[in-house]
Structure 1
């Protein structure tokens, strides 16, 4: 017979949390001056929490033989961490006095710290004890369940409601804010009973229709995070749905903000402007360029594909001059150098200091020893005063073809956009999720690494340098021989 004395064990370990004797880890939670340091023990953290096991392996002892950790996710408050650390030490958790919103924040925080057992328990508790609150917060929580991994219990709870009462969901005022993969999951349910309205133009994707529905219901539209190609697809979709005001607005936006892209796509878009009605604004934009710079059009490799009415319109222009005209033959962008390691310094904090509030930057670096050329693009502004994850749908990372790499690799952010960029000047961390992590002094510390990522699904280093688990081996860390940061600007030679 085996006797188990778990209650006493739990109590003794919890008492150890309150006794800081022989502690060797200090965890800082919160922003100064309201931050709090938790003095804890590495052997308990490593045995109970995969996140801290990985973090402690990466962190050296300071002169006082203490490992000092900071939690990058600033959403983990002191209140939440107090609950979590008691669970880690004693395996106990009390939720009776916590609001449902706080419990859900605990789910997210526990998931960030890879406490799978606690994540499962908290979800089950919410479903069993907070069902009314979950229904009230449908759009917000359901959307999060598709953006954050391991929330299957909450997601299944909502899917069951949707199958039984679909109209309560589709008639929700926040329905249009759901991500595309959530909408697809809803519509694929076998037992979903709905009156179906089909749209004949199958080129109108869920992503496009999401934007259009927001415009129809709320009269609002946000284009900052959309690529120019997506905005043009929106023009065509809106025109199909006879939304003339939106069609006009989108064309004007493209002309004012995507002129370089329109020039690059001349033959394709100009041809479409003659095949689809109501695209006069884009057509006039091209006709103005043709009048001022005709050779750029006639020398285009796709010039022959233009429809007859477009060619006639070009040749009839009174002010058409067919002399040689200067033109940017290849690259519609220019690169402004902001930072160079050998000139400005190799600490990650240097990048934040110089690039503070600067958007559309690309980082290019050469790996010490291997000669690999790696980098990443951030469309958003770096912030020297905040430590936060940034939602960046247009970000990407890359590696360029070298002697050690047969082909160049481009890896775009495809999911979990909330984690695409990690802006953390406090810890000298600059992350493109886990796919490319730049840490500390890039030249002297050898703490940078690449790991499997849920955001950027294509790795940019070869398999022997990519970590497949939470522990990074010595061979997978790298330092940087040189790096540069550029601001990307559209060329404005053609006006």
Structure 2
């Protein structure tokens, strides 16, 4: 039986990094004041990395037989980790920031260390899913700018299929790589109307050609050809035959020159004779989910509230003087968002809650176990204005550490809620009154900085906290409140 001594082998090879006697490669990384040079050995690099094997073939040695490889796009911190992996086969990520691990994964992929790249990818998906959701835009752009990352691409496209506004309504949607957009359009389960997909695709295509006239009436034949060429990978993925006649006429017809003559003729024929076959390929309709989430709080496995809390909130909604029995709650609490599952980026709240009417926001405060919340009877949107209602309220719920619940109804109905525009949605989540209950973060993560606030203004009856100090949260949930039949 073979005796294996991998630990000692790893240790010996790691010590080569400090041996300056017989190195023959210098690798320069980073730029400007952060630039740093590392020594290495060509024989190790060649046999550990196909990437460096090719690089060394193309580099000419100097007069003392040393080759220099320059990689300004890789930070010194990341490359030091990579070198330790090359020589010793060990990567210690225990004390590394998740952002560093993500960058390391990208570099490992670029340098063709497939084993390391895949291992880090699996680690992020299995252990850092919340961080991946919070940093959705950053990571999504990175992985689609590179080959590989099949698991992460699947992870993100599953989220986009369920919550398409996360990408379509993001500030940098138009800078999305074509491969990423195509992968989204291929999804049969994309939860969005087909005509909206068409609108987004046209918007993306136009944004790639800044010389196209703003007014469509001024477009030339060349302009349409330019847009058609840009969208040649996307157009075949639109489910044209599942768009209404009205939308075809109003939104698709102005761009019919990019469709091709046969497809436009088949669309016209389809709407006159819907049962007659056409020559064009007819893709199946997307599968729009109509499933309803489990109705009861305990069935949702809420990490914050229990059925007694749900009964208390329900009685406040109905303005009852006595609390409902936990066995007789008149509302279903349907989960829309959970921070620990969907992420703590403020923008995530606006994307996932947009359009939902009659919602409860519940948050657990870090370090105190306080359970704070608010009820909004109106629909969330990005109107950038104060909203008027007599029926909203904010609250603090009793628990093992808090003796009594506090209910505070709106007093000044003209400023019951505040909805932020798209810019401030990167910082602020739900806001009741004038910051009398506000979830906020300047680092795009409600759990990371103490920026949330329950200020003691006069738009609600009373403060729901005994202090005006800012705080962060452990988790938060948003439920849609639906009357039982």
Q: Please give the TM-score of this superposition, normalised by the length of structure 1.
A: 0.40
Q: Please give the TM-score of this superposition, normalised by the length of structure 2.
A: 0.41
